[in-house]
Amino acid sequence: MSLNEWLAIGMIAGFLALMMIGVPVAIALAVSGFAAGYMGFGSMLFALLPARLYGVVTNYTMMAIPLFVFMGVMLEKSRVAEDMLDTIGRAMGGLNGGMGIAIILVGVLMGASTGIVGATVVTVAMLTLPTLLRRGYAPTVACGTICASGTLGQIIPPSLVLILLSEIVGESVGTLFAAAFLPGLMLATVYVIYLLLLGWRRPHLAPALPAEERERIDRRTLGRDLLRTVVPPLLLVVAVLGSIVGGIAAPTEAASMGALGSVLIALWARRLNATLLRETLHGTLTITAMVFFILLCAQPFALAFRGLGGEAMVHSLFEAVPGGEMGALLFLMALLFVLGFFLEWIEISYIALPMFLPVFQAYGTDMVWLATLVAMNLQMSFLTPPFGWALFFLKGVAPPGVTTRHIYLGALPFVGLQIVALGLLFAFPQVATWLPKAIGW
């Protein structure tokens, strides 16, 4: 191998080493990229860097990120999820595993309206975990269900993962939103089937509400509550996603309407005030700044890797994998799964994926299908020990009796279910490609 190729390998190793000793991700990316690039080419390599940074911050599609984040933070802080959980939980409580299924359904709605894993996991855990344990749910089942529900926002649009992947693979945001919609619902359905089977075969692990508690539920009040708490967020999701997928509005335009809609829902719930607005703006600023800072710091790393011949190394690596395109795809899925144990989705998206993308472009792989496979794979990184962020979020708010062991063991069956859903998507690409083609994207 040439000196530059050794530098490319050293750059990756340096990045991982900096991560392991606690250096923030963005700083580790920038330092390793600048160091390796300067050793290989001097200052000449980075003449293109200003243009790349300018391209990131002026990208019109990226404007959708702070708007979707605002929508999610507003709905989370106005306690919309709290109302939905209470109502759907009462509606499903008479079924073994029903409370768990209610959490999954709320995860679908929250994922489609917020897409923020930390907010969803923390909110759902604080509201339901003590109740589930009090009603006889096994701690592992309760913890796994909450974590899995919170991660649905990474595959169900609108999702920050999909917005960034659209930029990487060169497909429109609307196309990827349409492509991920059915796989996201498929994954939620797999979760629901698992909880139904668990409630049927082992009802002591996921029991129904006690009979006396079910008898106290007023069906007429429950119906009104469903209309009041579930319908407004559902209409917001339909309006935002429908306008994008239907070609009525660009993602950024739809995101602005979603942000306005979240304010109106908070107003409808009589919770809109100056404090809520200030907390929402602060949360939006924090999350958006983190995402864009990592994106900007990833640019010198990506530029140095390409300049040092890293792409040719990756091509050689994939050529050694047997099985042609399918073998390369399986290898990529396995590699992303392993990386998810140690890295966050945003580093994998902006560092690992661009390295491998030219291989699949050469094969002529359907980029929409590939991006959907990657998005579902990256979702698992939130659940896989030891560094699954959903597990950390849950541990931070779990009652004293819930141990790290409960959380990790509870997540493992849902990681297996995600692998099953990923396998179905791999075997049947039409799950991702049918809707974009049907609506003419």
The reported pLDDT for the residue numbered 372 is 95
Structure tokens at 166: 């659209």
Residues 144, 191: contact at Cβ < 8 Å? no
**Residue in the structure block whose two tokens are 């602060």:** 282
The reported pLDDT for the residue numbered 59 is 75
Residues 191, 430: contact at Cβ < 8 Å? no
Task: Give pLDDT tens digits along the chain (441 positions).
Answer: 677 778 888 888 888 788 778 788 788 888 988 898 888 887 777 777 888 788 877 877 778 778 888 887 887 788 777 777 778 777 776 788 888 898 898 888 877 665 566 666 777 777 778 878 887 889 999 999 988 988 887 888 877 788 888 888 888 888 998 899 999 999 999 999 999 999 999 988 888 877 666 666 666 777 787 788 788 888 887 888 788 777 787 778 888 888 898 899 888 888 889 999 999 999 888 878 877 887 788 788 878 877 787 767 766 777 777 878 888 899 889 888 887 776 667 777 777 788 788 888 888 889 999 999 999 998 888 888 766 778 877 877 788 888 888 988 999 999 999 999 999 999 999 999 998 888 766
The reported pLDDT for the residue numbered 105 is 86
Structure tokens at 112: 């489609």
Closest by CA to 354, choosing from 164, 153, 113, is: 164
Query: With 0-12 CB in 10 A as exposed, 13-18 as middle and 19+ as buried, what is 197?
Result: exposed
Buried b (16+ CB within 10 A) or exposed e, 225-256: beeebbebbeebbebbbebbbeeebbbbbbbb
> Coil, helix or strand for 351?
helix
The reported pLDDT for the residue numbered 106 is 82
> Coil, helix or strand for 133?
helix
What is d(CA 419, CA 5) in angstroms, rounded to the nearest whole number? 34
What is d(CA 73, CA 389) in angstroms, rounded to the nearest whole number? 18
Q: Which residue type is seen at 420?
A: V
**Residue in the structure block whose two tokens are 């699954």:** 388
The reported pLDDT for the residue numbered 440 is 64
Residues 406, 138: contact at Cβ < 8 Å? no
